[in-house]
Structure 1
């Protein structure tokens, strides 16, 4: 158990990280925290050595300011957190992955956040905003806001219980900083006020979500790359067979690029260095890679932004309508520019897809993608052109799970219908196509490839002890099962009302590696049964859905 300590404040309490060894059996670890007045006890679950991990994925744990007070989601904000805890009590989760927006810090620009930042945002002259200094008053108010907001968000009933009993892995998105960070014009993004605010948000993100500090990380090298504080990418084993690649798409983002060119080389080198054991690579992309696009709206709002920057009177007029935000661009433009499907990121999106394809082809890894941000649930896929049947035999077949939001309210049904009007199978390049998938039929119409309902995703390997007894020749043995647990706010019954299963098979050229069960004594805990070489695709007789059809 290392003695390194993380300072929360100076002076103030400290945290002491600990390293725990896995044993031949899954086990519960109890711990206590002494607060001076009481000593509450908590417990979390560790998998057995060699056992696949059972884990969860969620995003968007908070509310946008636009969500009305009488919205059903606000009446019971932690409904799906209770569903998660119920599942955990019967089928322990070894880890919980936050895919972005673990809290919403947009209130820093309102009176309850920082009066100084609110006044800055209300200035009408664009040039004055750009030249305004980052003041001690702003630093003090922002620090107080982020600290209090983290404590309030993570102390909510059900949320705090989950965080206390399930180990966390997180990656931030814009609302962990403030709305739209990274998608503003370069002069606004780089101005002293926004950079000063980013520094405060970054400090609290490291402490509350990564459980580290710059000084601690400089010594222990917890992330990929130089660990100089410029970005926070990571690779983590989710058991021997599954690796999670968390990609930081905020720290170095600009309006022109989501990731710097050097990051592509860094990620490629990191994955290339993996040993031959893992068979699944799950890539965490905060914003969806496969998603319907609205290019006309992007163009119109971009034109308004250009006019507003060049014409002060026009900017003043548009601000009075409520269309223009405090950063002097149309209110929803940052949301459109944030995504991979934005026209501004078209070239880089192809670069990113080809990077994932190299992961698959060079190392025989089945690549899957988990995303959030959009406040809808959905399943998309990339696949070869021409199409290879069955899809399980396609090395370029990749599934994307959009799981959002666990707390925030979904967009209106008309917004989702508008998005679905632009949804069809598309050509990505000369050898790749993409499409959204009918994952929710027949509960929802065949055309509903996005669902405007709160959700989170449960993830486990299709192998003992996480599946009925099977043999390696079964078509989905060794696949990765994504279980979307969905709320129906009109007909709540105390747990997720809708459940959808998406099974992703292993790569067709995956080696005959061992798939451990983690259920035996001693050295036998590391033994396993041979994995299937090929994965023919057919529907399970149990009725479990698979996107490979």
Structure 2
């Protein structure tokens, strides 16, 4: 198997400021590679690349902070810039050592800001029978990037992908903390795994960038220090605030995305991203209504959204609705194909969030189904398991909150939570789906689950079984062990309603007997399907075939080996109806109407929901039986040099 080609670096990474300085010195930042979707019927892979180039390198003059007027469909050479025509081109070829069969993509100038021109290059590639590496480089005027290589899956084959969250350090992390001393340790682990087993996609579930320090900018700090509440709420959003905020967000995105190892991953692994509060600033959406709607908050949010769309979505406010990528206007929900039997519903739970409702409007089920009808036969939607209720201090300033103090079981969201549990259950039973929830934000690793009461003997027969995998953080420091230990001891199995129970799984026993349900170490999650080519040869009738396999890759800072020191494997079985579950499932009109009513009434609180689809109902995998009061234990598999346990059911 050809190796993914990227420049390897050893030792502790330089600071983000140093990495950014190198980018500025050479005159560009990027390339940043993004996965958009696969069109299964056409056999086409869609993506894009973003490259930022210093305007002076192109002989262009600097423009104001506001983006230029633009046309969503205008091709490469922008006629409205204050420079001469610029040739912008991306060249791609199959990375087999021969630059034959090249294809090109012409660049589109998205915007010019803070002395940077942002160029987007669209990618459309045909899928072959097997996965293959694609080499590319980008040239804008005299600037040309180095060759990078990424992998696309084979047509109809499972995808190998990963999940990260919390890609930054909170201000309260000590300077001598191991997480700050080697911030990108797990990014190096991710790249090593990618070298051996190429990843087709990497999903950032939120907090790709920590923008909380925007409140240290002089004009915003002055506003935050106002003691007169009425004066604060009525204060205008000023040009000084606009300019300082624009410069901060632009610089902070480039700093973060240019950091060693992160920059390599973003150039060599197609990225999918959804924002959370730190991408805006801490607690956005959970402040009191009068604070949330004041001029300063609204103005700053517009700046944060502009750079979220540019760096994470490769688009602009002016273009986004015309491009039609997202499911409805005003928010950024999206559906993505992750292989023949897996789909991702990425939920934007920040754009329209209020203190009482996480997302007041989500797309109808009919729209979601239309988005998948050409890719998959069955589908569903769902929501959160660990979100915050942001607070403000006595001066109404943003305040860094402990994520573990907030959650979907807060009284404020209890009714919303129950509605969405029922929504998930109705969708799972009506479409015969297995719904898995993948979330972050809490700075811990953990496995939870919802399941039928009374229990099914085999989990794969349970239509209400919904696991939640929590993976966080890839960079930020974990909470103190005493806090996690207390939360572990307070967690017990409990009823949601007359037919459903919830509990945390003792996933980390016996290696961590005192904190066997929540693990306070940095981590990320590797995901693949239990099917060839990501498993030993098997046939569809075998027990594990078709399960979705989540591998938590965990750092132990006092035992560093140069890669994830511990791994924990969780296999989520596909749904196989038995006689009992068949009474609850089926695409009945009554169930469908219940689901649509729930969608119409509900709010949302989770960045990512996965739908594991049933390509075949033949065969019934036989899992180990689970007794009524028996905890399901997931045995640690050890590091890369340790024993690796087989997939366990969550």
- 2: CA distance between counterparts of 1:330 and 1:529? 47
CA gap of 1:201–1:268, structure 2 versus 1, over 3 A, is: same
Quick check: 1:472–1:529 contact (8 Å CA) kept in 2?
no
Residue equivalent to 1:139: 242
* TM-score, normalising length: structure 1: 0.84
Which stretch of the first structure deviates more once superposed, 528-537 or 395-404?
A: 528-537
CA gap of 1:390–1:341, structure 2 versus 1, over 3 A, is: same
Equivalent residue for 2:321, pick from 199, 218, 221: 218
Residue equivalent to 1:154: 257
Residue equivalent to 1:254: 354
- Kindly report which structure 2 residues correspond to 1:128-207, keeping only aligned pairs within 5 A, or say none: 128-207=231-310
Residue equivalent to 1:427: 495
Q: Aligned with 1:8: secondary structure? A: strand
Could you report, residue by residue, the CA deviation over 1:266-287 in whole angstroms, capped at 9, with x for unpaired residues?
A: 25641476349758969785x5
- 2: CA distance between counterparts of 1:277 and 1:364? 16
Q: Aligned with 1:74: secondary structure? A: helix
Residue equivalent to 2:187: 81
- 2: CA distance between counterparts of 1:18 and 1:457? 27
Could you report, residue by residue, the CA deviation over 1:313-346 in whole angstroms, capped at 9, with x for unpaired residues?
A: xxxxxxxxxxx36525876388745x32211000
Quick check: 2:282–2:398 contact (8 Å CA) kept in 1?
no
Residue equivalent to 2:56: none
Structure 2 segments unaligned to the other structure (5+ residues): 1-103, 583-613, 626-633, 636-643
Deviation at 1:447, TM superposition (A): 4.9
Could you report, residue by residue, the CA deviation over 1:188-215 in whole angstroms, capped at 9, with x for unpaired residues?
A: 1111101111100001001100111233
In the alignment, does 2:516 pair up with 1:448?
Answer: yes
Could you report, residue by residue, the CA deviation over 1:244-267 in whole angstroms, capped at 9, with x for unpaired residues?
A: 00000000111000121x41x525
Deviation at 1:473, TM superposition (A): 2.1
Quick check: 1:378–1:439 contact (8 Å CA) kept in 2?
yes
In the alignment, does 2:627 pair up with 1:537?
Answer: no
Question: Alignment length, in residue pairs?
Answer: 494
Larger proportion of strand: 2
Residue equivalent to 1:391: 459
Residue equivalent to 1:312: none
Which stretch of the first structure deviates more once superposed, 467-476 or 481-490?
A: 467-476
* TM-score, normalising length: structure 2: 0.71
- 2: CA distance between counterparts of 1:352 and 1:530? 27
- 1: CA distance between counterparts of 2:294 and 2:310? 25
Equivalent residue for 1:487, pick from 531, 548, 555: 555
Deviation at 1:430, TM superposition (A): 1.8
Structure 1 segments unaligned to the other structure (5+ residues): 306-323, 512-527
Residue equivalent to 1:43: 149
- 2: CA distance between counterparts of 1:93 and 1:53? 8
- 2: CA distance between counterparts of 1:399 and 1:488? 25
Residue equivalent to 2:209: 103
Residue equivalent to 1:288: 385
CA gap of 1:326–1:51, structure 2 versus 1, over 3 A, is: farther
Could you report, residue by residue, the CA deviation over 1:333-380 in whole angstroms, capped at 9, with x for unpaired residues?
A: 88745x322110000011111221122111111100000000000000
- 2: CA distance between counterparts of 1:30 and 1:393? 44
Equivalent residue for 2:529, pick from 461, 478, 486: 461
CA gap of 1:329–1:543, structure 2 versus 1, over 3 A, is: closer
- Kindly report which structure 2 residues correspond to 1:298-337, keeping only aligned pairs within 5 A, or say none: 324=393, 326-327=395-396, 332=401, 336-337=405-406
Deviation at 1:22, TM superposition (A): 1.0
In the alignment, does 2:424 pair up with 1:356?
Answer: yes
In the alignment, does 2:80 pair up with 1:12?
Answer: no
Deviation at 1:5, TM superposition (A): 2.4
Residue equivalent to 1:274: 372
Deviation at 1:104, TM superposition (A): 0.4
Equivalent residue for 1:372, pick from 420, 437, 440: 440
- 1: CA distance between counterparts of 2:504 and 2:404? 20
Deviation at 1:217, TM superposition (A): 2.2
- 2: CA distance between counterparts of 1:334 and 1:490? 24
Quick check: 1:280–1:367 contact (8 Å CA) kept in 2?
no
Deviation at 1:240, TM superposition (A): 1.3
Quick check: 1:126–1:328 contact (8 Å CA) kept in 2?
no
Quick check: 2:335–2:372 contact (8 Å CA) kept in 1?
no
Quick check: 1:482–1:501 contact (8 Å CA) kept in 2?
yes
CA gap of 1:349–1:198, structure 2 versus 1, over 3 A, is: same
Larger proportion of helix: 1
Quick check: 1:94–1:166 contact (8 Å CA) kept in 2?
yes
Deviation at 1:479, TM superposition (A): 0.7
